Amino acid sequence: MVVKKIMYRISKSLREIYYSYYPDKEFLLLSENSLVWGLRIETCNICNANCIFCAYQYQKRKKMIMPEPMFNKIIDDYNFMGGGNLGITPVVGDPLIDPLILSRIHYARQFSNIKTISTFTNCINLHEVGIKNLLTSGLNSITVSTSGFDLELHEIIYRSKKAERMKRNLIDLLTINKELGNPCEIKIGLRTCQSLKEVMSDKEFMEIVKLSNEVDINYYFEDWSGAIRSTDLLRGMKIRPFSLLILRRKTPCWMLYGELAVLSDGTVAMCGCHELEGDSDLVLGNIMDSSLMDLYRSEQANMIRKNWLNGSKIPDICRSCLNYNPYTFGMLKETRIKANG
Ligand code: SF4
Ligand code: SF4
């Protein structure tokens, strides 16, 4: 297994380097004309936690729930341009605080062009939405962000007094999902200073893990363009190292070739990964003023891609972004199948 993983990493890196010298024009054309990867919508930018590793604590944007007509317009636009995967995933915030979350999923689900619908949550507010309601809403995938069942540690990392509630909700989520015949894929994303072995030493946690589809642990954390420093984290939590410097100068980030993010006030950006204030040089406009397709295919979007591709300008927000991946990453066979499938 380990050898297979190492071989995959090597082959992936070689293919990325190859394609950075010999771009696949067919892929670039496909990417520039349709959203091959997916659409991310932040339906609310409000959170019930305040994680030490998250820039939510520095957000200055107005906290709000996205108006229903705005959400429906985005979905209509997305459907019109062919649809794809949909992530109801805020830049910062928890989607289960949104009182309209279920009706939004129902609205999106009626379009066959919308493939998978996924979301991320800290699980603290899940009981308010209703577990069965969420699991049978048409949602395909839920990723739960947690530190595990060491509740004191959860309180320190998530800075929430609701660790017990999170634990109850997560157990119920996995149990009910099984009873319903697993309508949703459920992944657990661990954000902790503990090792996987330490987290798994909790018997209850180990039991529920067997019901989940995947457990992943974050060894590295984003720095949110310098907002989060290693001194903000606990011992054992590290800021992701800066890498791929040579590729970055030569090849644009893959997020610019296949994704758009819409913030809760309608701001549309080419990438939502660090769009904390909705004011970066990747912002294309507001969804209430243009269609999703016009924004995606706009002169501005094309200039951003081309300027980076020909080496004349890397967007400021991307210069030190630790989430950078070369666009060649999206051209790899395995990713293409997923994106176009
Ligand atoms: S739960 Fe998510 S959005 Fe909320 S503070 Fe933590 S990482 Fe940020
Ligand atoms: S470099 Fe970072 S901010 Fe820029 S497009 Fe890529 S992931 Fe987004």
Q: Residue 281's CB: how many other CB atoms inside 10 A?
A: 14
For 140, the token pair is 């395909």
In this predicted structure, what is the pLDDT of residue 328?
72
Beta strands in the chain (DSSP E): 38-41, 84-88, 114-121, 141-146, 185-190, 214-217, 220-221, 238-239, 259-262, 267-269, 283-286
Q: Whose CA is nearest to atom 3 of ligand 2?
A: 318
Give dist(CA 4, CA 202) in Å, integer: 30
Cβ of 318 below 6 Å from ligand 2 = yes
Q: Whose CA is nearest to atom 4 of ligand 2?
A: 318
Mean pLDDT, contiguous 10-residue spans, the chain (341 residues) = 73 69 70 79 98 97 98 97 94 98 98 96 98 98 97 97 97 97 97 94 93 91 90 92 66 87 98 94 98 94 90 90 77 49 40
CB contact at 8 A, 86 and 111 = no
In which order are the strands placed within the sheet that holds 114-121?
214-217, 185-190, 141-146, 114-121, 84-88, 38-41, 259-262, 267-269, 283-286
Expressed in angstroms and rounded, the spacing between residue 151 Cα and the centre of ligand 2 is 33
In this predicted structure, what is the pLDDT of residue 33?
72
In this predicted structure, what is the pLDDT of residue 309?
83
In this predicted structure, what is the pLDDT of residue 330?
61
Testing ligand 1's pocket by substitution, the residue of 94, 125, 154, 162 carrying the most ligand atoms inside 8 A of its CB is 94
Closest atom of ligand 2 to 253 CA is: 6
Ligand nearest to the CA of 272: 2
Ligand nearest to the CA of 50: 1
Longest dimension (CA), the chain: 56
Instruction: Give residue ranges with CB within 6 A of ligand 1.
Output: 47, 49-51, 54, 56, 92-94, 122, 145
Cβ of 269 below 6 Å from ligand 2 = no
Cβ of 329 below 6 Å from ligand 2 = no
Expressed in angstroms and rounded, the spacing between residue 122 Cα and the centre of ligand 1 is 7
Give dist(CA 71, CA 234) in Å, integer: 38
Ligand nearest to the CA of 317: 2
Q: What is the pTM of this model?
A: 0.90
In this predicted structure, what is the pLDDT of residue 339?
41
In this predicted structure, what is the pLDDT of residue 234?
95
Give dist(CA 56, CA 217) in Å, integer: 21
Q: Which residues contact 275 (CB under 8 A, 6 or more apart)?
A: 91, 261, 263, 267, 269, 282, 283, 317
Expressed in angstroms and rounded, the spacing between residue 253 Cα and the centre of ligand 2 is 6
